[in-house]
Amino acid sequence: MNPASRALFRLFRANETRVHELNYLFWECTTRCNLCCRHCGSDCKDCSGEKDMPFEDFLKAFDTIPADKRPHPFTVVITGGEPLLRPDLPEIGKELRRRGVGWSIVSNGWLYDEEMHRRLMAAQMGALTISLDGLEEDHDWMRGCEGSFARAINAIAIAARHPRLNFDVVTCVNQRNLPHLQEIYDQLKTLGVKQWRIFTIIPIGRALDHPEPGVRADNLYLTDAQFVQLMDFIAARRTAGGIMNTTFSCEGYLGPYECKVRQTPYFCHAGINIASVLIDGTICACPNIDRQHFGQGNIYTDNLWEVWNTRFQPFRHRQWARQGICKDCKVFKDCLGNGMHNWHAVGDRQGANGDKVPQAMPGDTLSLINCHYNKIIRHQTGDLSNR
Ligand code: SF4
Ligand code: SF4
């Protein structure tokens, strides 16, 4: 980006932050899940200890947002766990539509068959995201369940045939599926997919059970060289154009790859346009943010709209992030300390596998657990200091 565009973008971001219009609300409606994904940031289970949140509870919180303060479009993203495990999902969708609100789900696709598709479309679902984490062997390995690839492909084929649905496929790239990205691209294109979004994995939730980069061939996290390889792949795909749009997720500031791997410059919208209602009622932003540390309130004790308007300061004023390696970082003004989900309270307590457990407890310190920019610069220059 040239200096003038960068300056303009910073102004735009500052204004968006000042206005902080809420237009995207996640609802973690269940933490039950029918798969057992290795990278799950929530550590969801089929026998989750948490009860599903009653829709009435969510609706009561949602209705604190005055109708004339809801911009158009406004989207409720229903997530989990696996939201399709909730039998009342079509009724939920219909009720949201009655309020003039768009709704969408994020699913592993296992339960998404023709009948489910018909019921959800009848409830005017506006958008759908299905996860596909590789070709058959790698996807089933990652999802911890044989047959999950076939089910996901079936779901993708059904959804891709429906032109009214805003549909995309997301892939978490790891050391196993990285060499097969072109094959995944070809398969999705053949199925008629128009949007492919790519993520990487950070050590939170169940992904903590895996060791640090370079230790095992099947590691979930990319090395610096592999991350740059991923950036090059996406940049090349975007330059080649074509009917399927390949894009890197919002997850971090990318320095030299900004605007090459996604359409708009990096901007973490958490707490600026995005809020969430989590399974226990916690009010936060994206569900993979450290909810214990950054939770802003609870729908069972607070008014959601009031919380949105009067709290969320750590999301909107990011000077606190000037600590650790971000303290003297020369690109801080563009990055602001990376996406909020990259900060976790890391204690010195040991998890079951000897890994650190990211939970906010007295005495824990907040740590940045991933810097995308430094990965790129380290690989390109060998410079470890970022000064
Ligand atoms: S050190 Fe990394 S995360 Fe922190 S501000 Fe700089 S580029 Fe962003
Ligand atoms: S917290 Fe992470 S996922 Fe959410 S908007 Fe920010 S960068 Fe994106």
Q: For residue range 186-209, list pLDDT tens digits in order.
A: 999 999 999 999 999 887 665 555
Q: Give the rounded percent of residues in the chain with a pLDDT score beyond 70.
A: 86
Q: What is the DSSP string of 287-313?
A: TTS-HHHH--EETTTS-HHHHHHH--H
Q: Tell how far the Cα of 139 is from the centroid of ligand 1, in angstroms.
A: 31
Residue 197 φ then ψ, to 5°: -110, 135
Q: What is the pLDDT of residues 217-255, one digit of tens each?
A: 457 889 999 999 999 999 999 999 999 999 999 999 999
The closest ligand to the CA of 294 turns out to be: 2
Residue 367 is encoded by which pair of tokens? 């740590």
Q: Tell how far the Cα of 250 is from the centroid of ligand 1, in angstroms.
A: 15
pLDDT value at position 76? 98
Predicted TM-score of the model (pTM): 0.91
- For residues 343 and 290, is the Cβ–Cβ distance under 8 A? yes
Give the atom of ligand 2 at the shortest distance from the alpha carbon of 338: 7
Decide: helix, strand or coil at residue 275: strand
- Residues near ligand 1 (Cβ within 6 A): 253, 325-326, 329, 331-332, 335, 337-338, 368, 371, 373-374, 386
- Residues near ligand 2 (Cβ within 6 A): 250-251, 268-270, 274, 286, 289, 339-341
Is the pLDDT confidence value at 175 over 50? yes
Q: What is the pLDDT of residues 78-121, one digit of tens each?
A: 999 999 999 999 999 999 999 999 999 999 999 999 999 999 99
| Confidence band, pLDDT 50/70/90 cuts, at residue 361 | low
Strands of the 195-200 sheet, one edge to the other: 245-248, 195-200, 166-173, 127-131, 102-107, 75-79, 24-28, 274-277, 282-284, 297-298
Strands (E), 179-260: 195-200, 245-248
Is the backbone of residue 272 left (phi > 0), alpha (psi -120 to 50) or beta?
Answer: alpha
Is the pLDDT confidence value at 60 over 50? yes
Check residue 270 and report its DSSP letter. B
Residue 182 φ then ψ, to 5°: -65, -40
| Confidence band, pLDDT 50/70/90 cuts, at residue 366 | confident
pLDDT value at position 35? 65
pLDDT value at position 141? 86
Q: Tell how far the Cα of 267 is from the centroid of ligand 1, in angstroms.
A: 13
Write down the mean pLDDT value for the chain. 89
Rounded mean pLDDT, 24-36 = 88
Q: Tell how far the Cα of 326 is from the centroid of ligand 1, in angstroms.
A: 5
